[in-house]
Amino acid sequence: MRVRAWACTAVLPLALALSGCGPLPGYPRAGPPIPPDQILDFQTLYKTNCQACHGVNGANGPAMDLANPEYEALVDDATLRKIISNGMPGTQMPAWAQSAGGMLTDRQIDAIVAGMRKQWAKPNAFAGTTPPPLAQNQAGDVHRGQQAYQERCAMCHQGPARQQITSPVYLSLVSDEALRSIMIAGRPDIGQPDWRLEPVPGNWGPAVKDSSSLQPLSDQNVTDIVTYLHSLRNPAAVSAAPIQPRR
């Protein structure tokens, strides 16, 4: 019996050696691995490259709530490709396109954009209303922006439990473009209302129970508030440039 057991243990390594790296009997043969730059599956690309900042399923991350249907309706495909490809100056959003020093091909970036639309875009996201445009098209005024901020925003951004968006530390991590996007589309994942300033169920919402007296933010309001917040930014801490009005 001992001789037979020894013989079996000796033959098994030899059989494995002769079989090379092939699959064991009863197991399917695996195909060749897919090169990283050939992966086009949205879930794989998102989890590997986007999830750390934008959160699982596009929400509850430190960066923009991509699963917000209003944001998906606000930004067009060309802008999404530009942001993913070249990054967003003044934020932690890096450039992902190989042409800009990143790791993703143009086809992979197209797959991410298409996947975002399929997963999170919804028809009539604004329920028939018209939001301010994503792109700034007029000049802003710091003093008007400060007044608008105090009247429309400060009530929800006061106290230690609230996001101190006037803090130079916070403003060093977010660009004017990102501020404008959040003000218009909101962040429902954290209870941040959109430009209509209507209460949103979430982790924290408006500090007042009755917001019916608050009028929606106009295009000029958004521009002025962004201009005011930009004036509070420490230029030594961030290189974000203000949005230039279109001519």
CATH number at residue 66: 1.10.760.10
> Are 95 and 156 within one domain?
no
pLDDT at 209 over 70: no
> Are 221 and 184 within one domain?
yes
What's the pLDDT band for 159 if we cut at 50, 70, 90? low
> Are 153 and 79 within one domain?
no
pLDDT at 216 over 70: yes
The predicted pLDDT at position 28 comes to 62
- Please report where in the chains the tokens 């043969």 appear, as a residue: 29
What's the pLDDT band for 212 if we cut at 50, 70, 90? low
pTM assigned to the model: 0.76
99 in any annotated domain: yes
The rounded distance, in Å, linking the Cα atoms of 176 and 187 is 16
pLDDT at 184 over 90: yes
The predicted pLDDT at position 53 comes to 93
- Please report where in the chains the tokens 């925003």 appear, as a residue: 153
Number of domains observed in the structure of the chain: 2
The predicted pLDDT at position 23 comes to 58
The rounded distance, in Å, linking the Cα atoms of 67 and 58 is 5
Transcribe 184-209 into DSSP letters.
Answer: HH-BGGGTB--TT-----SSS--SSS
pLDDT at 173 over 90: no
82 in any annotated domain: yes
89 in any annotated domain: yes
The predicted pLDDT at position 3 comes to 45
Give the tens place of pLDDT for each residue, 32-52: 777 888 899 999 999 999 999
The answer to whether the beta carbons of residues 145 and 165 sit under 8 Å apart is no
> Are 222 and 146 within one domain?
yes
Q: CA 34: distance to chain centroid?
A: 27
**Residues 159-175, mean pLDDT to the nearest whole number:** 80
CA dihedral over 162, 133, 195, 77, signed as positive or negative: negative
The predicted pLDDT at position 36 comes to 82
The residue among 41, 34, 49 whose CA lies nearest residue 111 is 41
CATH number at residue 161: 1.10.760
> Are 227 and 148 within one domain?
yes
Range of the domain at 50: 41-120
